[in-house]
Structure 1
Amino acid sequence: MADYKKTAKGILEHVGGVENIAGMTHCATRLRLNLKDDSKADDAAVKAVEGVVNVINTAGQYQILIGIEVPHVYDEFEILVKGSSEGDVVDTTNQGGSVLSKVFSAISGIFSPLLPALAGSGILRGLLILCVQLGVISESSGTYAILFAASMAVFYFLPVLLAFSSARRFGASPYISALIGGALLHPSFLALLGETGNGAMSSFFGIPVVLMNYNSTVVPIIFAIWAYSYLYKWLDKNVPETLKLVIIPLVSLLVMVPLTTIVIGPLGVYGGELIANGVNWLIERSGMLTGVVIGGGWSVLVSFGIHWAVNPIMINNISQVGYDYICPLTFACNFAVIGTALGVWFKSKNKELKNFALTGAITIALSAIIEPTLFGLLIKNKKLFLAQIIAGAVGGAYLGLTKVVTNAFVFGSVTTFPSFIIDNKNIVNGVIGLALSVVVGAVLGYIFTNKDDKLA
């Protein structure tokens, strides 16, 4: 069993200690640190820590690749940095780095805790659709209603979940923030929409309110909690300790719920819809080109750790329109890496290299985690890295041309393929596109590998 505490302690020791940590978060596979002084970090020593796969210092962040066990390491690391595990609020808004690095860090910090819920719900939704198509479950049955609720709850209550994770990121009260998100979904508020829906009008003490349906929305609540974090910190600093228990939640709800419904919410909804419509319009106009760029370039974004900037767009598309064009293109990248690794496995005679390549291919197929193979094999060999880019571009071009979509935000693997279950055409084209990525990757990986190559 891995010793997460030992791993966290080793990392902290070699990045300059507690006093050098300006901010910290994690995504699906990486511990992301903002260091006050990068020169105090010893990259070689960090890489040598048991449990660490690689180190990438980019986009204003010191990123330590660990793998899917990173949440456990982060928990231990947080305890070491803070001295205890008692606090609910993780305030990293004043971390060092550029504005761009802060944005990337915030996005990863907000969404990464929700990934298991989003992925699991998406797969359940795909399996439910498949059962309906096969006639196993009737849409009019209680079974369908229960499983549909289970698969869609994460999207309906997304504002509440995002409010909680945003609060931890921005340094506000997670529970009061969740109440702010919950108020936007309360039946009494939704009843004001009537039959008009988005754009219906009401008022708050004479102030006009443009009403919106906030279930499944992404942008409004994130901006609302970001704004609330400043109010919360001011209240926490200025309200006497004996009154905080009552005054802080009272003022928070009195101010933030009306402010969100009057100003922040409508702007967020329209802004989110504008982004989603813009992305989908671009893909509809030039699906093949979009497929080439994303399918081929996704691994480059992953290697720099900046792919998190795109993930919210996919999540927003899924929650707003029920499908997404970008997510299948990230599948093309992952399956291209699988194919390239298999090509290396077929060609190489070195036992260590063969085992690493095969293990990487199986890992991606089951868990969609490409970083170990990407950094341990492909980036070290420019020809192999180019091979998976070409393979991803070919598969992505086909997926984009045929307008393949997923009904859930998931990471690309064999286990998440049920997200393609929308209709037979979408499934068939999805299989063909991903098969192209694997085959092209395997052929090029075979060609670009020498029999006597070794694992560097």
Structure 2
Amino acid sequence: MDFKQAAKDILANVGGAKNIGNMTHCATRLRLNLIDRSLADDKKVEAIPGVLNVVYKAGQYQILIGTEVPKLYAEFEKAVNVERGDVPVELTEDQKSAAKGSIVSRMFSAISAIFAPLLPALAGSGILRGLLILAVQVGVIKNDSGTYTILYAASMSVFYFLPILLAFTSAKRFGASPYLSALIGSALLYPDFINLMGKTGNGTMTDFFGIPAVLMNYSSTVVPIILAIWAYSYLYKWLDAKVPESLKLVVVPLVSLLIMVPLTIIVIGPLGVYSGEAIATFVNWLIGRSSILAGIVVGGGWSVLVSMGIHWAINPIMINNIANNGFDYICPWTFACNFAVIGMTIGVWLKARDTKLRSFALTGLVTIGLSAIIEPTLFGLLVKNRKLWLAQIIGGAVGGAYLGLTKVVTNAFVFGSVTTFPAFIQKNGSNFLNAIIGLAISLVVAAVLAYIFTNREEKLA
């Protein structure tokens, strides 16, 4: 069956894109809500190769295709979008080849595409988290109340379940089943699986049919699930090509879950564990050699770690420092990164003319200022525009160097925002003053560089 041609023919014979109110599919049927039922020509639709039958029930125009309907639906959706002008016409092979660019460009393009659908959820959750923190600090909400717990769940669920959401969007990018991919992500967060770690936490060992496996908590992680779905896309395409249509409904999901969940836990997931441990070891080594150099590296590189989802590996070091010493040097450098991101948004807001870009930058400023959540701005702007990312990295590195030079510390493990400034209060009053100076340096340097690097006609791509 030629799915692309069939999709075009169906669209032409049901009244075109302007007649489609809604569209979806089930296991075997393409289901359309038509604005004007009379515009559909049932006989012509039934005559299209691959169409088995046409029925109209419960207000839906149902076209029976069989188990291959997801492939037809994908092409039908493209045809509708092209006719409506929502997406450009499909590129030729030569155009696709020219557009691919370098491996680095393709990698950043993939990351951008994977995170783009999640930006509203990340931004909204970040602002809600910031408002909740503010409400607790001014005494409007108590952090042991039911109200706090409900709002905390609302603001943080997007981060806890990030592997599931990323599995879905990664599948869209790499060409795998989004729903099976989401199941793979869900397995990593299943309570019984997490309980296997007991009190030991990341690094606990178990086995799968005698094969040793390193366990870790995958909530809020990024790299393991993206790598897993990228690998799964090859398996899915192979299964889709080899398994007979009559068996796909059962065999494809069965084999997908049976192979990919253990493979992710045994092989792909530990990459996050060991890369995180390597980063933590490197940071400790830097601190032992030079606090200024460590401030430059962490302050400048923190956003890179966040983009890969392995920044959480550093958190235990900070928590341990607070527990044993009552203070920590690393946490202020993460503040430097966040305030450099804030500075970058200010520079963009001041220079750009595009209202969408300015609005997005302003939203990022508020989100980070209140809640310290940089992911929406990171994936929505910095990953797409490496000049702006460079501005942020330089700002964070310069501010981090000052914080390292003056040995600024925090008295608690917190995330860098305006609302968490009290963490800098020490008996030594100069600690707070130097913290403010260092963060101001990060903000100003990043703002100036972002202003220089931003074109006035820059748009939110």
TM class by shorter chain equals 0.5 to 0.7
Equivalent AA in structure 2 for residue 264 of structure 1? I
The amino acid across from 2:340 in the alignment is A
In structure 2, the partner of 1:312 is: 307
AA aligned to 1:165 is T
Shift of 1:162: 1.8
Q: Deviations over 1:261-320 (max 9, x none)?
A: 22222233222343365467657865655766898x89xxxxxxxx9966514x432587
CA distance in 2, matches of 1:274, 1:395: 24
- Give the partner amino acid of 1:136: V
Give 3-state SS (helix, strand or coil) of 1:423's partner: helix
CA distance in 2, matches of 1:444, 1:209: 46
Alignment match, 1:9: none
Indicate how the Cα distance of structure 1 residues 218 and 239 shifts in structure 2: closer, same or farther if over 3 A, else same. same
In our comparison, the structure showing a higher alpha carbon Rg is: 2
Please state if 1:79 is matched with 2:84: no
Residue 258 of structure 1 deviates from its aligned partner by 1.4
Structure 2: gaps (5+ residues): 1-80, 319-330, 366-376, 426-430
User: What does 1:262-273 align with in structure 2 at a 5 Å threshold?
Assistant: 262-273=266-277
Structure 1 residue 129 displacement after superposition: 3.2
Alpha-carbon spacing, 1:367–1:398, altered in 2? closer, same or farther (3 Å): same
Residue 161 of structure 1 is matched in structure 2 by 165
Match of 2:214 in 1: 210
Q: Would you say 1:148 and 2:152 are equivalent positions?
A: yes
Q: C-alpha separation between the residues in 1 aligned to 2:197 and 2:254?
A: 26
Q: Does the 8 A contact of 2:303 with 2:337 survive in 1?
A: no
Are the aligned partners of 1:223 and 1:268 in contact in 2 as well (CA < 8 Å)? Answer: no
Deviations 1:200-237 (A, max 9, x none): 33332333333322222222212211111110110111
In 2, the alpha carbon distance for the partners of 1:112 and 1:77 equals 20
Q: 1:110 to 1:365 in 2, by over 3 A?
A: closer
- Residues in 2 aligned to 1:244 and 1:278: alpha-carbon distance in whole angstroms: 47
2:307 maps to amino acid: P
Equivalent of 1:332, from 326, 340, 345?
340
Q: Is the 8 Å Cα contact of residues 125 and 151 (structure 1) preserved in structure 2?
A: yes
Residues 122, 407 of structure 1: 8 Å contact kept: no
Distance of 2:268 and 2:230 partners within structure 1:
11
Cα distance between partner residues in 2 of 1:110 and 1:219: 12
TM-score by length of 1: 0.55
Q: State the distance in 1 between where 2:178 and 2:146 align.
A: 34
- Preserved contact between residue 122 and residue 419 of structure 1 (Cα < 8 Å): no
Q: 1:135 aligns with which of 139, 151, 158?
A: 139
Cα distance in 1 between the residues matched to 2:347 and 2:88: 41
Per-residue deviation, 1:142: 1.0
Cα separation, 1, equivalents of 2:118 and 2:164:
11
**CA deviation after TM superposition for structure 1 residue 167, in Å:** 1.4
| Aligned residue identity for 1:317 | H
Deviation at 1:146, TM superposition (A): 1.4
Please name the residue that 1:175 is paired with.
Answer: 179
Q: Which residue of 1 aligns with 2:29?
A: none
Aligned to 1:14: none
Q: In the alignment, is the contact (CA less than 8 A) between 2:82 and 2:88 conserved in 1? A: no
Taking the aligned partners of 1:281 and 1:74, their CA distance within structure 2 comes to 54
Give 1:104 shift: 2.0
In 2, Cα distance between the equivalents of 1:420 and 1:400? 19
- The answer to whether 1:321 aligns with 2:329 is no
Is the Cα–Cα contact under 8 Å of residues 283 and 400 in structure 1 kept in the other structure? no
Percent identity over paired residues: 57
After TM superposition, give the deviation of residue 240 of structure 1 in Å. 1.6
Q: Does 1:423 align with 2:423?
A: yes
Q: Report Cα offsets for 1:86-125 as digits up to 9, x if no partner.
A: xxxxxx9997322222222222222333333334333433
Distance (Å, rounded) in 1 between the aligned partners of 2:396 and 2:212:
50
Measured against aligned partners, the alpha-carbon deviations of 1:334-359 in whole angstroms (never above 9, x if no partner) come to 537847997xxxxxxxxxx9x969x9
- 8 Å contact kept, 1:407–1:421: no
- TM-score normalised by the chain length of structure 2: 0.55
Provide the rounded CA distance (Å) in 2 between the counterparts of 1:276 and 1:441. 26
Tell me which of 106, 110, 133 is aligned to 2:110. Answer: 106
Counterpart of 1:332, as a letter, is A
Q: Deviations over 1:31-83 (max 9, x none)?
A: xxxxxxxxxxxxxxxxxxxxxxxxxxxxxxxxxxxxxxxxxx99987733359
SS at match of 2:207: strand
Q: Are residues 234 and 289 of structure 1, via their aligned partners in 2, closer, same or farther at CA, if it must alter by over 3 Å? A: same
Task: Please state whether the residue corresponding to 1:194 is helix, strand or coil.
Answer: coil
Distance 1:156 1:76, change over 3 A: farther
| Cα distance per residue 1:151-206 (max 9 Å; x no partner) | 22222212212211221222211111110010111122223223333333333233
Q: Distance in 2 between matches of 1:432 and 1:115?
A: 31
Match of 1:125 among 102, 114, 129: 129
Q: Distance in 1 between matches of 2:313 and 2:88?
A: 37
Matches of 1:262 and 1:252, distance apart in 2: 15
Q: 1:420, 1:427 within 8 Å by CA — same for their partners in 2?
A: no
Kept in 2, the 8 Å contact 1:158–1:218? The answer is yes
